[in-house]
Amino acid sequence: MSDAKDTTLSETPVAELTARRAKVEHKQLAAQVQAANDAYFQEDQPIMDDAAYDAKRQRLVALEEAFPELKETGGVSDKVGARPSGKFAKIRHRVPMLSLDNAFSDEAVAEFVARVYRFLGRKEEEGIAFTAEPKIDGLSLSLRYEKGELVAAATRGDGEEGEDVTVNARTIAEIPQTLAGPDVPDIAEVRGEVYLGHADFAGINERQREKGLPEFANPRNAAAGSLRQLDATITASRPLRYFAYAWGEMPVLPAPTQMGVVETFRRWGFRTNPLMKRCESVEELIAQYRLIESQRATLGYDIDGVVYKVDDLALQARLGFVSRAPRWAIAHKFPAELATTVLEAIDIQVGRTGALSPVARLKPVTVGGVVVTNATLHNEDYIRGFDSKGLPIRDGADIRIGDTVTVKRAGDVIPRVEAVDLAKRPADSKPYEFPTLCPACGSHATRELNPRTGKEDAVRRCTGGLICPAQSVERLKHFVSRDAMDIDGLGDKQIEFFHGDPDLPVKEPADIFTLAARDAGNLRKLKDKEGFGAVSARKLFDAIEDRRRPPLNRFIFGLGIRHIGETTARLLARHYGSFEALRAAGIAAADEASPERQELGAIDSVGPTVVEALIEFFGEPHNEELLDRLLAQVSPQPLEAVASASPVAGKIVVFTGALERMTRDEAKAMAERLGAKVAGSVSSKTDLLVAGPGAGSKLKDAAKHGVEVIDEAGWFDLVGG
C-alpha cells in the first residue's frame, strides 16, 4: 500500500509542528486525499471512511492555514473529485462542478456565517438569509437542456470534465426529458444527485445474491455503479432517483435567490427536497439541522449532513470561490457511526516514503449497511494507548490482537479503532510489539526526533530508501500514475510484475523506457508471458513511447520529490520553462547567498520546505545519476502559455495597503480569476504592485526593482471594472 492510502493521521497539534515537519505531513496527507478522491469518485470503491477522509482534509487545511507557504493554488485541497475514467466519452463542464467545505460542529457553522459577514463587510443587524437542505449521499450529475430538451448528462468527474452518461440518464424516471414552463431558458444546466432509496437498495442486493453476484457496499456505491454502466439496459433496470438543487451554465436565471431557483426547478418537472428551508440566523440553521437529523432514519434514502447556502445570488457572486469550494456554502456533516468487533490481526504496510502503517484486520462487521474488515490504528503510540504528548487515551488501554474493539466510521469501509473492551480481553493476550525492522527489506525502522519539541515523530520509517522494494515499487507507481507520466496500461499491477520480473526488470524510471529494446533482445518475449499477448505488449510499448516527451510539470511531479505536489510542480514548470533550468537552480540554490536561492524562494506558494526539498534532491549523487539515465530516455516539454484576453494574465501581482472597494480576499480572488499570479512580496519578477492607503515597505521594494505601481482605481481601470 502506498502512503496515499495510508490512514495514519498525526495527533501532534499543528501549532507544535516545525515548518519542515508540517510540510512532510502535508505531502503525505495530500497524497492520501488524492488517492481517496480517485478511488471514491472514479472507481466507486472508497479506500477510507468519510470520517477519516474529512479528518485528513481538515488537517490538510489546518496545515495550510498555519503554514501558508504550503498552500498550492489548484493543489489537492483545491481539487474536486477525480479525473474521468476511460469507460465513457468525456464532457467538459461549461461551469466547473465544485465541492463543499465541511463543518463538524455548531461552532464551525457559526464561524462560517461570521466569515460570510466579514467577507461582505456587513453587520449582523443587516441580515443575510441562508438555505438549509439535506446533503444527499449519492452521485452528482449535471443535466444540460437546450430549448427545453435534454441533450447531455455528465458526472462530476474532476470538476472540470466528467463522463458522458446521457443515454443512461434518460432511463431515470425522475429526470425530465423536456422542461415545462414559460420561463425555461434556451440553455439550462440543472445539477443534482442521483441516489437509491433504502428499499430499492435492499432489493438490488437481494437480486445480486440470487444471481450469485457481489453485493453493493452501500446505496451510494450502488447508485454510482448503476449510472456508470456501459449497458444502459442495466441502468434502466435499477430504480435510480434524482434530486435537483443546483445549476451550471444558465445565462438567464429564473429567480434572484437560491430558494427561488430551486422552486422553479420543481415547476419545470424536477423533484426537489421538501426539507429545504430558508433561514435567517445561525440558530435557525442549527434548528433545521437538528430537525433533519431527527428524521434521518425515516427518510428512506441516505444523507450525510445538511448543506447551508447564502440565499441571495448576488451575494453568492460577490463571495465567489476559494480553492475547491464556494465561500457561500458549507456542508454540516453528521457524526460518524460506531460498531463493535474483534481485532484478529495487525498488519504493517510500508508506503512510498517508508512510513510503517499499522492496519487492524477485523472480524467482519456490518456498520450502517457496510461490511468492514479493517481499520486504521494510526501509529505505534496509538496502539500503546498514548497520544502525541504521551498522555493516556482510551483510559490508557493498549490495543492487542484478540481484543474486542469499538470501531468508528461514517459510511465507507475503512473505520478507525476507537476503544477497547478490557472486560472481554483474552487472558493470554500480549502487548503488541511494533516492528523496528522494515517488513519489506529488513532495514532499521526509526522514528525521527523533532528538534523543536524534542519528541519523536509519530511515524516510524524504513531507512532503506531505494534499496527497500516497497519504497522502490511505490515510487515507480507514482511515476507512472495518472497525474504524473500517465502511461496507459502501466498501472500498479504491471509495475509490481516488472519490478520482480527476471527478464525485464524495472527498478528505476529509466528502465521503463528501455523495455521495448530489452524485450527485442530477449529470448522470452513479453507477449509470451502470462497476462500479456502480442497486442497488449505492443500497446504497452506504444504507450511508453508516447510519453518520451512529457509535459514538464508532470515530469517534475512524477519524480516524487518530497513536498512537490502537482500544483507546485506546475508553478516550477511555468517559472523555469525547462527541467535543465530547474535542475541548475536547484543545484545552485545550495548556496544560501545565491540569487538562485532567492529567486526560488520568491515564487508564490513555494516556501522554505520546498526549497530545501529541491536542494536535497538535486544534491544527492544517486538522484543525479538516476536523472541522467532518465533524461537520456525522455525530453520534458515546457508548458504552453495559457491564452487569455485579460491584461493581467500571466503577470505577477502584489497587493498592499488598505483597499476600499474590495477586501484583500476579493482582490486576490479577482486577480487569480483573470489569470494573474498573486505574490506576497515584491521582487524583480513582480510585474505590478497595487497599492492602497497605508502602503509601506513594498513601495520601496517596487521602486528598487522598477516595478509598476498603480492604485485601486487604476487596477479597476486596467481590468475593465
Q: In what order do the strands lie in the sheet with 139-146?
A: 149-155, 139-146, 187-195, 241-247
Three-class SS state of 357: strand
Name the nearest CA neighbour of 222 among 250, 187, 198, 252. 198
CA 71 – CA 703 distance, rounded (Å): 29
Cβ–Cβ < 8 Å for 408, 31: no
Residue 145 marked ligand-binding: no
Cβ–Cβ < 8 Å for 596, 582: no
Residue 408 marked ligand-binding: no
Annotation marks residue 424 as catalytic: no
Q: Is the dihedral of CA 526, 543, 38, 249 positive or negative?
A: negative
Residue 87 marked ligand-binding: no
CA 332 – CA 286 distance, rounded (Å): 9
Residue 156 marked ligand-binding: yes
Please give the span between the terminal C-alpha atoms of the chain, in angstroms, as a whole number.
Answer: 51
C-alpha cell at position 369: 449497511
Residue 53 marked ligand-binding: yes
Q: How far is CA 269 from CA 176, 190, 238, 689, in A?
A: 6, 11, 21, 51
Residue 52 marked ligand-binding: yes
Residue 193 marked ligand-binding: yes
How many other CB atoms are there within 10 angstroms of residue 267's CB atom? 15
Residue 23 marked ligand-binding: no
C-alpha cell at position 302: 441516505
Residue 462 marked ligand-binding: no
Cβ–Cβ < 8 Å for 91, 163: yes
- With 0-12 CB in 10 A as exposed, 13-18 as middle and 19+ as buried, what is 645? exposed
CA angle 654, 660, 665 (to 5 degrees): 50
Instruction: Give the active site residue among 23, 56, 79, 135.
Output: 135
Residue 441 marked ligand-binding: yes
CA 546 – CA 633 distance, rounded (Å): 12
- With 0-12 CB in 10 A as exposed, 13-18 as middle and 19+ as buried, what is 322? middle
CA 376 – CA 470 distance, rounded (Å): 19
Torsion of CA 205, 209, 214, 216, to 10 degrees: 10
How many other CB atoms are there within 10 angstroms of residue 81's CB atom? 23
DSSP state of 227: H
Residue type at position 129: A
The residue to which cell 511494533 is assigned: 434
- With 0-12 CB in 10 A as exposed, 13-18 as middle and 19+ as buried, what is 230? exposed
From the DSSP assignment, how many helices (H) and strands (E) are in the chain?
Answer: 25, 24
Helix, strand, coil % over all residues of the chain, rounded to 5: 40, 20, 40
Residue 133 marked ligand-binding: yes
Residue type at position 615: I
Residue type at position 687: D
H-type alpha helices, 577-696: 579-588, 595-602, 608-619, 621-631, 664-673
Three-class SS state of 266: helix
Cβ–Cβ < 8 Å for 60, 9: no
CA 1 – CA 6 distance, rounded (Å): 7
Residues tagged in the binding site annotation for Zn(2+): 438, 441, 468
Q: Which residues carry out catalysis?
A: 135
Residues tagged in the binding site annotation for NAD(+): 50-54, 99-100, 133, 156, 193, 309, 333
Residues tagged in the binding site annotation: 50-54, 99-100, 133, 156, 193, 309, 333, 438, 441, 468
